[in-house]
Copies of this chain bind each other. A is one copy, B any other.
Amino acid sequence: MRFEGVFAALTTPFAPDGAISLPKLGENIGRYNRTGLRGYVVTGSTGESVLLSFGEIDRIWSTAREFAAPGRLLIAGAGVDSTSETIARARRAAGLGYDAVLIKTPHYFKPLLTPTALEQHYIAVADASPLPVLIYSIPQYTGISITVDWVARLAEHPNIVGMKDSSGNVQLVSEIIHLCRPDFNVLTGSSGTLFYALLSGGAGGILALACFLPEAAVELYEAVRAGDTARASRLQFTLLSASRKIAGELGPTGVKYAMDCVGYYGGNPRPPLLPLTEEQKRTVEAVLAESMARQKVDHLGVAG
């Protein structure tokens, strides 16, 4: 199975009292089902997974499974620091009918998490997981960086089928693509470099930005697939600010507010994440307005 296309890294909606809101999650997914998104990552970083109990995660996974349209791929954010707990979560995701698990690099004991320790973690998880494994690297949150050679070794495991790289390091992504087997799915988590990752032969993107601009991300993907590099480049341009200033600098909190702005349910994050300040809200609104204005110009240009 290939993991190609644009996936949304779903947010986790909370009700005003702080409890998870499964109905709002279902509504959001219902709307995403009408876009060209290839599937969904549930309880990844954008889903505030580190702020959820496993009981909550289980209910979120079930709900997403229920609401995702047939044919949409479902990927469970199942990686935690503990190897055995990661395996337990992967098994649960398999039981719920997910298509793959996304396994974040363990990161707490940084000086002890050598390449060898990390490699053995992934091998143990991949050996035990009933579902295919995608490696997940997000050094801006974990403080753990990976190398081309390290990924290439893991890509030889039959149950490690790809990776999500959120570092935004285009050269790293390119080298991984060229060094690993052709069906190793390299997905970027950095919407500001989606165009470049696709041109390098990347399989697609798992994007927080796709929570609030799903169509734009899908259009970019399809433009590259159609060989329309010039258009894809223009579309990438329309996403640069939103990528950096919303998904990057404001994280799940910014993504949720942007969702509220465009008609999805965003809501507040869980503490210790703070709601946006009024100034931050104005920034999100301005970035969205500019991004959508540019997309409209591009569409008109294409039409005309």
Contact = CB atoms under 8 A, between A and B. Distances in A.
- Copies of this chain present in the complex amount to 4
Interface stretch (A35-43, A207-215, A237-245): A237-245
B272 A117 contact: yes
Given A82-B51, A240-B175, A251 B112 contact: yes
A82 B196 CA distance: 35
Contact of A51 (B81, B111, B113, B270): B81
A244 B168 contact: no
Nearest to A121: B272
Nearest to A243: B171
Contacts of A243: 171
Contacts of A50: 81-82, 108-109
Contacts of A83: 270-272
A145 interface: no
Interface of A: 18, 45, 50-54, 81-85, 106, 108-114, 116-118, 120-121, 124, 140-143, 148, 168-171, 174-175, 178, 190, 192-193, 195-196, 199-201, 229, 233, 236-237, 240-241, 243-244, 248-253, 270-274
27 contacts: A45-B109, A50-B108, A51-B81, A51-B85, A109-B141, A109-B252, A109-B273, A110-B140, A111-B249, A111-B251, A112-B273, A113-B272, A116-B274, A120-B271, A120-B272, A148-B244, A168-B170, A170-B170, A170-B193, A171-B190, A174-B192, A174-B240, A175-B192, A175-B240, A193-B196, A199-B199, A200-B236
